[in-house]
Amino acid sequence: MEESSIEETGRNEGKIEAEFNGKPKVAYFSMEIGIDEHVPTYSGGLGVLAGDTIKSCADLNIPVVGVTLLSENGYFYQKIDEEGNQIELPIDFCVSDFLKLLPTKTSVMIEDREVKIRVWYYPVKGINGYIVPVFFLDSNLNENSEWDRTLTKHLYGGDKRYRLAQEIILGIGGVRMLEALGYKTIDKYHMNEGHSAFLTLELYNQLRDVEKVREKCVFTTHTPVASGHDQFELSYAKPMLGDMLPSMILDEVIFENKLNMTKLALFFSHYVNGVAKKHREISRLMFPGYSIDSITNGVHSLTWVSDPFKRLFDKHMPGWRSDPYILRSAFSIPKNEIWDAHMEAKRRLIDFVNSRYNAGMKYDHFTIGFARRQTAYKRPDLLISDPDRLMQIAEKTGPIQIIYAGKAHPNDESGKNAIKKIFEVMKTIGGRVKMTYIQNYDMTIGKMVTAGVDLWLNTPRRPREASGTSGMKAAHNGVPQFSTLDGWWLEGCIENITGWAIGPEKTEDAESDDEVDRNDLYNKLESWIIPKFYKDRDNWIRTMRSCIAINASFFNTNRMVQQYVVNAYFL
């Protein structure tokens, strides 16, 4: 990033300003936004959802602007050694190749220092040409101190003080930056997770009226796992925030001497939602006394449908690109054409793992995919927890191939151990059940894997998965999901029609039991799923088709964004 690009931007200022003229009504704040596979400013599900949301807003001409941090060094580039140890490397990302530096600046106070912020711009163009601007905040300016210059470099890196400083930049700096850019029409601020909740403090300090701030604020909570909610010790939070924290709200947002970002967002929002129906129930239990709605997540259809399925949908369901609801008529697509499109996507994936990892996989062997953040509650090793059983099933029913991918957060030992376990098992059963681990899971790999396997596996421990979205990407490519009944799958699973459930029924409220789930997983693979794939191909393809017609037509961000407009934004 060179300072000289400011001048270059200056020459284009008029053109960029013209793109701002949409009079946006909603500002969408997210710590991470995965808007483009070449812009590594996201880590996983939350950021990809934010990007998909913004893309659908652009497709639907919804007057929104996005605000996030630059995360100049991204999350991290994942390498895994022979033993399965994850190695985290910095990402080489030339910001000015993809984002445009604007001349506008603002600042925030952290401790007693003024931290200057500049901003980069990325226009997200919708299917009809409507532009949703996304702004990336950046503190890497000469005027700032050494530490302050690093604050927008590492997504989810550093210690708690670093995170708090990042959140001051995102929330307070974000509101100020929008004002500095000249926006005067914003009347809703949407916090995608609690990281941006300091925006409420900036609004309160301007308006001095809790009700007026509430009218403007919308909050989406994303995790039922307690450690997923940011909390900051007052010992450093108070000095860092200075006079930004009004004394009249302290009782509402401070618990056990910690400032709770979720409580801050809850206190100042007129509309709060969880990201699936079950997640609303869990959130209501976690935060009694607040009114919490639900809007189930989706994925951006045009982003996640693979090329062969795009051609197939264009042929049979014209109009699906701007209105994914049309995918419900997938029932009329001939089964052989679905299979041909699937095999094209599958060959692409198998060729990739064979050439990169020498995986020795076959096009016509039953292939299971598991790819997501690696962490204990998602139980990445449940499928391989009894390798002998897995080998017996393969001998009985037909060959099985397994494709894994996913990063573990650098401080998450449980996730790192799961990767090691997968590598160990890979060595012992590799000859009988083919396994491979694709390194550095990102949007590009995600797109290829969700489209290219035969079965999408998800094994979260109930009720920890707020929604999950990768199974929706699979459904868009006719790939059925096999998952515990948690998050969106409680709404999307119709047994044997859109996929299969692992473990206790929908009506049972029990927490997951590993032993019960493991048995159910193996039994269903052995008795239902793999035999249907090898011996009843016609009905297998019927299931694939139902995934598109029943699930892709609904679990997309176009439907989701329309629900936000009606229920949360009141546009």
Ligand X SMILES: *Cc1c(COP(=O)(O)O)cnc(C)c1O
Q: Which stretches of the chain bind ligand X, using CB under 6 A?
A: 44-45, 48, 372, 441-443, 446, 468-470, 473
- CB-based contacts of 72, cutoff 8 Å, min separation 6: 1, 93, 95, 138, 140, 152, 153
Q: Give the nearer residue to ligand X in terms of CB position, either 263 or 280.
A: 280
How far does the chain reach from its first CA to its final CA, in angstroms?
38
CA distance 281 to 279: 5
CA distance 45 to 225: 15
* Least Å from the CB of residue 45 to ligand X: 3
* Least Å from the CB of residue 76 to ligand X: 13
What pairs with residue 556 in β-bridges? 299
567: DSSP letter: I
* Least Å from the CB of residue 476 to ligand X: 11
The answer to whether 170 touches 68, Cβ cutoff 8 Å, is yes
243-272 CB burial, b ≥16 within 10 A, e <16? ebbeeebeeebbeeebbbbbbbbbbbbbbb
CA distance 117 to 446: 33
Q: State whether the Cα torsion 149-154-156-158 is positive or negative.
A: negative
* Least Å from the CB of residue 245 to ligand X: 33
CA distance 123 to 312: 29
Q: Give the nearer residue to ligand X in terms of CB position, either 476 or 532.
A: 476
* Least Å from the CB of residue 16 to ligand X: 29
* Least Å from the CB of residue 40 to ligand X: 10
495: DSSP letter: B
Q: Give the nearer residue to ligand X in terms of CB position, either 163 or 473.
A: 473
Q: Give the nearer residue to ligand X in terms of CB position, either 443 or 451.
A: 443
Q: Give the nearer residue to ligand X in terms of CB position, either 367 or 469.
A: 469
Q: Give the nearer residue to ligand X in terms of CB position, either 232 or 500.
A: 500
* Least Å from the CB of residue 48 to ligand X: 4
Q: Give the nearer residue to ligand X in terms of CB position, either 161 or 277.
A: 277
- CB-based contacts of 286, cutoff 8 Å, min separation 6: 224, 226
CA 291 to chain centre: 24
* Least Å from the CB of residue 278 to ligand X: 15
Q: Give the nearer residue to ligand X in terms of CB position, either 379 or 473.
A: 473
Instruction: Please classify residue 411 by burial: count the beta carbons closer than 10 Å to its beta carbon, then call 0-12 exposed, 13-18 middle and 19+ buried.
Output: exposed
| SS3 at position 364 | coil
